[in-house]
Amino acid sequence: MFTDVFVSARQRTRRQALGWFLVFLLISLPVGLVVVTAGTANLVGASPEDYRDAIVRAARVAATLYVTLVGLSLMWRREKNVVNLSLMTAAVVLAPVVGTLGGLVPLAWLTTRPPSAQ
């Protein structure tokens, strides 16, 4: 299930894709925490509404950047066909709306697709 999780040019089974999803979801938590902390560091005397808005904005940015970078690393060794590009696009579109949880689902599905034969 967790075999070669960090090898992006590997075609995975559904079970291995689930393991990949869980690992990258756990990695996103500290990454998101750092970005949210940095994004709200200058709001010391702000109102609770401003603070909440800044946290939501920073979390959306963090999720979108994280999913985009992980997706690009997966697409690097895969064919750029319609299905793969659609999965990548769906991940980037879902990330700011649903967060990393929703953005990583299409990418986990992308890991089950075969890499390019170079």
Under DSSP, is residue 80 helix (H, G, I), strand (E, B) or coil?
Answer: coil
Count of domains observed in the chain: 1
Tell me if 20 sits within 8 A of 3, measured CB to CB.
no
pLDDT digits (tens, 9 = 90+) for 12-37: 889 999 999 999 999 999 888 888 88
In a domain, residue 20? The reply is yes
The pLDDT assigned to 1 comes to 72
In a domain, residue 23? The reply is yes
Top-confidence residue, 118 or 69: 69
The pLDDT assigned to 118 comes to 60
Domain that holds residue 46: 14-110
Tell me if 25 sits within 8 A of 101, measured CB to CB.
yes
Distance of CA 94 to the CA centre of its chain: 10
The pLDDT assigned to 107 comes to 95
In a domain, residue 85? The reply is yes
In a domain, residue 118? The reply is no
Residue 107's identity, in one-letter code, is L
In a domain, residue 46? The reply is yes
User: Between helices 100-110 and 82-98, what is the axis angle to 10°?
Assistant: 170
Location of structure tokens 């689930």? 18
Top-confidence residue, 39 or 36: 36
In a domain, residue 90? The reply is yes
Residue 75's identity, in one-letter code, is M
- The pair of three-digit structure tokens given for residue 83, joined into one six-digit string: 């299905």
Top-confidence residue, 24 or 46: 24
In a domain, residue 7? The reply is no
Residue 45 has pLDDT above 80, yes or no: no
Lowest mean pLDDT among 33-42, 55-64, 75-84: 33-42
The pLDDT assigned to 35 comes to 81
pLDDT digits (tens, 9 = 90+) for 69-102: 999 999 998 889 999 999 999 999 999 999 999 9
In a domain, residue 116? The reply is no
